[in-house]
Structure 1
Amino acid sequence: MNAEITKALEVLKSGGLILYPTDTIWGIGCDATNVEAVERIYKLKGRDSSKSLVILLDSDNKLLSYVSEVPDIAYDLIEYAENPLTIIYSNAKNLASNVIHEDGSIGIRISNHNFCKQLIQKFKKPIVSTSANLSGEPSPENFSQISETIIEGVDYVVDLEQADMSKKKSSTIMKIEPDGRFSFIRK
């Protein structure tokens, strides 16, 4: 795994795109602070740039580096969630402008996936994690369902978990308001 982390790091640092396994489905990733790299993801997926992207962090103690305020309930939800959970926070900061939703919010998932955690720790920045599919197509449940267009459109495909045929699913998505009110976007 160390060799794969090293290769993925080189690509991320150079503004490139990676295709990688996560704690949910396979993702297309880049440096979440690099506007040009984020733009490449929108173009590769054919995704409308008004739709924001999710970012991954390795620890909830880094949340305040990327959002102005984290309601206390968010820490409890992260700690006790039984399945991967993406939380949409208001007032994003220190990220590429095109990764943030037009209302100023950002979706963040604290990854429990060993590869992702180590990669983010060594990169020292959040990475984008968007489903490895063309916009409008179903999200792939495993590596074998990822289209050649996506595979050929990234700069590096992480050589881990490609033979895993178990069916993965996307994370639960919740939006939390600064006052702690929350709603489910995707269960």
Structure 2
Amino acid sequence: MAKILKIYPENPQENLLDEVVKVLKSGGLIIYPSDTIYALGCDIFNLKAMEKLAELKSVKLEKSQFSVICNDLSHLSHYTKALDTPVFRFLKNHLPGPFTFILEASKNLPLAYKGKKTIGIRVPNHSVPKMIVEKLGHPIASTSIHDDDDVLEYSTDPELIAEKYDKFVDLVIDSGYGDNVASTIVDLTSGEPEIIRQGKGII
């Protein structure tokens, strides 16, 4: 049964964030808020957790496209190949924010991302996921929660999300209602921004 923790971005309590990190370190799956939608996440360095996440999304881990949540630009650059100045400047102008940027992956990514040439990276403008990543010491994997109702597409009520995923995740962070518009996906691998999916972020 999933535990629900109420952690609000205005004043995230240290002890509650520590509890989230403990769950992640032990290989648990969490549902967490962001500046866009609620998402599923786990520790990217815990292979069993990554496999559980892939199973929950009905994909093979090697075929998965889980993005990673970083807490700032320097953190992001550790998991990507060297960023040239225009790309770095572009990222600096848009992060933190509601974007997923596709960049060339570095060798610092863990086993679960082995063989992937590119990686989707987010730095959300939301204190809760950023503080979790900071306390954990490395990124968390991220994949969106889809609603069965195609009209809604994304669930926004954390209590309903907790009810739905109760048997599949270990922890749900309730930060109040989420958004129902996902991040804008931008491919930066060519050096020029190419919008793959228009979402909340405007370039």
Residue 64 (structure 2) pairs with residue 70 (structure 1): no
1:156 maps to which of 157, 168, 171: 171
Identify if the C-alpha distance between structure 1 residues 148 and 96 changes in structure 2 by more than 3 Å, giving closer, same or farther: farther
- Hey, what does 2:156 align to over in structure 1? 141
In structure 1, list runs of 5 or more residues that go unmatched. none
In structure 2, list runs of 5 or more residues that go unmatched. 1-12, 199-203
Q: Would you say the 8 A contact 1:72–1:180 is kept in 2?
A: no
Q: Could you tell me the TM-score, scaled by structure 2's length?
A: 0.77
Deviation at 1:175, TM superposition (A): 1.0
The CA deviation string for residues 4-41 of structure 1, in whole angstroms up to 9 with x for no partner, is: 21110001111111111112111111111222211111
- Once the two structures are overlaid, the 10-residue window that deviates more, 166-175 or 116-125, is 166-175
The runs of at least 4 aligned residues of structure 1 exceeding 4 Å deviation read 134-137
Q: Would you say the 8 A contact 2:35–2:179 is kept in 1?
A: no
Q: Matched residues in 2 for 1:166 and 1:21: separation?
A: 7
Q: Matched residues in 2 for 1:32 and 1:155: separation?
A: 16
Q: Would you say the 8 A contact 2:37–2:181 is kept in 1?
A: yes
Residue 61 (structure 2) pairs with residue 42 (structure 1): no
Q: Matched residues in 2 for 1:72 and 1:135: separation?
A: 42
Residue 107 (structure 2) pairs with residue 96 (structure 1): no
Residue 74 (structure 2) pairs with residue 61 (structure 1): yes
Q: Matched residues in 2 for 1:147 and 1:87: separation?
A: 28
Q: How many residues align?
A: 182
Amino acid at match of 1:73: P
Q: Could you tell me the TM-score, scaled by structure 1's length?
A: 0.83
Identify if the C-alpha distance between structure 1 residues 32 and 103 changes in structure 2 by more than 3 Å, giving closer, same or farther: closer
The CA deviation string for residues 68-112 of structure 1, in whole angstroms up to 9 with x for no partner, is: 222333333333338511111113332233346x55111001122
Q: Aligned residues: percent identity? A: 29
Q: Matched residues in 2 for 1:74 and 1:139: separation?
A: 30
CA RMSD of aligned residues (A): 2.6
